[in-house]
Amino acid sequence: MESAQQPFFNRGPTPFARFLLCSLLALTLIVADGRFHYLVTVQQVVATLLYPLQRAALAQANLFDRASGLFATQTQLAARNSALEQQNLINATALLRLEALEQENARLRGLLDTRETHGQSALYAEILYSHRDPFTRRVIISKGLTANVAEGQPVVDAAGLIGQVTRVYPWASRVTLITDTDMTVPVQVLRSGVRGVLFGVGSDGALELRFMPFSADIQTGDRLVTSGIDGTYPSGIPVATVLEVERNAAYTFARITAAPAAGVNRHRQVLVLNAPAAQVQNPGFEDPAPPRRRAKKDKGD
């Protein structure tokens, strides 16, 4: 029976000897690579072989980072979108307020021009609300007895005549609009000078010029202004524009409809004009001369 081969050394190198050998080999490789660059090719080959393993090891971490970044980005975008929408609403509200202020300033400038045009003292007021009765065309303004407002004073805006003060309270007044069925306004056709009476029909956008003969020189598009003959409204205030003139032989008078010139249901700022000066009664006529007394004869004559 053949005996087992005996090892050449009874035991291997000690751990310290192995450490010294590995350290010496490592130092030798480092010096050789740093001095002569012998291991560049080996490093490139090893890096090429290990690259797929590195990518596979990093893929899971990259996937987690990308998923976290995606959710974080969506959350940030949603928050930013919400903030931008809120800012957009704020800017839109500010823009609407700016446009409203510009329109209000334009109306106020128009009111000032109206006061200068008519050469009368006027009182600025605002429309507080409409009258509760749905069958009337009345509004409540912000000036009353404390501001020396009196019944009968005309009320205008930047475009023309709105109505007339019909009742006065301590701090407010009621204005009946010219479109009310109880309102009549003496007017004159600006083009031809024909005079007539304008009646309200209870609608904010319609008026009627009644009792005008067929031969009256009135056309579509004519502007109607106050004639001033009633002593209530100053002359020359724009009132309406003729919309339609219907002449039918079946009726005694022509049917004439008009649209109000003023914003009777739109504007908020108005002017209350002072009543015009009292007009002379029976103009063109003089009081008759007092009768002469006949001298009485003396009894002695």
More confident residue, 126 or 12: 126
Is the pLDDT at 15 greater than 60? The verdict is yes
Average pLDDT value for the chain: 78
pLDDT for 143: 92
Domain ranges of the chain: 17-119, 122-273
Ordered DSSP codes for the chain: -PPPPPPSSSS---HHHHHHHHHHHHHHHHHHHHHH-TTHHHHHHHHHHHHHHHHHHHHHHHHHHHHHHHHHHHHHHHHHHHHHHHHHHHHHHHHHHHHHHHHHHHHHHHHHHHHHHHT--EEEEEEEEE-S-TTS-EEEES--GGGT--TT-EEE-SSSEEEEEEEE-SS-EEEEETTSTT-EEEEEETTT--EEEEEE-S-TT-EEEEEE-TT----TT-EEEE--TTSSSPTT-EEEEEEEEE--TTSSSEEEEEEESS-TTT--EEEEEPPPPPPPSSTT--PPPPPPPPPPPPTT-
Residue 281 is predicted with a pLDDT of 41
When pLDDT is averaged across residues 207-231 and rounded to a whole number, the result is 91
**pLDDT recorded at residue 75:** 75
| Tens digits of residue pLDDT in 39-96 | 777 777 777 887 787 777 777 767 767 766 666 677 777 788 878 877 776 777 677 6
Per-residue pLDDT of 162-200, as tens digits, reads 999 999 999 999 999 999 999 999 999 999 999 999 999
pTM (two decimals): 0.58
| CATH code of domain 122-273 | 2.40.10.340
